[in-house]
Amino acid sequence: MLIKFTKMHGLGNDFMVVDMISQHAHLRTEQIKKLSDRNFGIGFDQLLLVEPPGRPDVDFRYRIFNADGSEVEQCGNGARCFARYVIDNKLTTKNRIRVETCNGIIELEVTPDGRVLVDMGAPILIPAEIPFVADSPLAEYELSVASKATETQEKVIISAISMGNPHCVLLTDDIKTAPVETLGPLLESHERFPNKVNVGFMEIIHRRFVHLRVYERGVGETMACGTGACAAVVAGQLRGLLDSSVEVKLPGGNLQIEWLGEGHPVMMKGPATKVFEGQVRV
């Protein structure tokens, strides 16, 4: 069958968005993998599905699948694209919507300047709920990582946070030379993260501005990661290194992140861009 889709991106983190309200299809894991292929398919970091709400107090259900076909709990850049998609395609007349994800409810608002403000909810810091294996919540944890190249154990200091999906954040002195490609996959599948983890490498320029690269679970390094930016700012604040409002520079562009501290939601603001529309046979 043919399905209609829209290709979108948030700071270069790119998505295939499919309306599952006006059309119906079931995409299997192998189909998602083929569609994500940048040479033989549409090409994307994640597939976003727009579905009818499953409860009366929300407007839509939002589902996210990685390029490898695995379903994930949350995607901040995808959330901004989701908001622009449902408004631009007149699936709602609201500028502020409540969206159900598999890990809770988020609120999205398209602002007058065209950017999208996302209430990402409060960060989860309790290890068992991230999930992360640790006895108690701490601002920093030490992990041992086995290096295949040298057959030695390397010690790294990380922060562990969930923004609806698990993140670990570590500091780097130089974002350009950060070991994203080597250390990223080792931490992604570390035994202390039972559901795997997204790995953020953060260079702090000053208390209100950081550089960030993210190795995303099931995808690899992406141009931008909204939940990763949120987690990085939370990690920096927990360590006493960042202020409450921080601009995060990612390879694809900048996001504004604000967190007023424990118990408060993380607010993320940034762009969402439509690339093209099309149809594909599945």
Residue ranges of the binding site for substrate = 13, 46, 66, 76-77, 165, 198, 216-217, 226-227
Q: End-to-end alpha-carbon separation of the chain, Å?
A: 6
Instruction: Please give the full DSSP string across 1-12, using - where no structure is assigned.
Output: -EEEEEEEEETT
Give me 143's structure tokens.
């992990």
CB-based contacts of 18, cutoff 8 Å, min separation 6: 3, 4, 5, 25, 27, 47, 48, 49, 50
Give dist(CA 19, CA 236) in Å, integer: 37
- CA 224, CA 14: separation in Å to the nearest integer? 9
Q: Which of 75, 81, 168, 230 is the catalytic position?
A: 75
Q: Is the CB of residue 23 less than 8 Å from the CB of residue 4?
A: yes
Among residues 81, 168, 225, 230, which one is catalytic? 225
Quote the tokens at residue 31.
């189909």
Are the C-beta atoms of 184 and 145 separated by less than 8 Å? no
Angle between helices 76-88 and 226-238 (to 10 degrees): 140
Q: Which residues participate in the annotated binding site?
A: 13, 46, 66, 76-77, 165, 198, 216-217, 226-227
Amino acid at 168: C
Q: Which of 152, 157, 122 is nearest to 141 (CA)?
A: 157
Sort strands 245-250 and 209-216 into parallel, antiparallel or unpaired: parallel
Q: How far is CA 186 from the centre of its chain?
A: 19
Could you say which DSSP state residue 123 is in? P
> Does residue 81 have an active-site annotation?
no
Query: Does residue 225 have an active-site annotation?
Result: yes
Residues that are catalytic: 75, 225
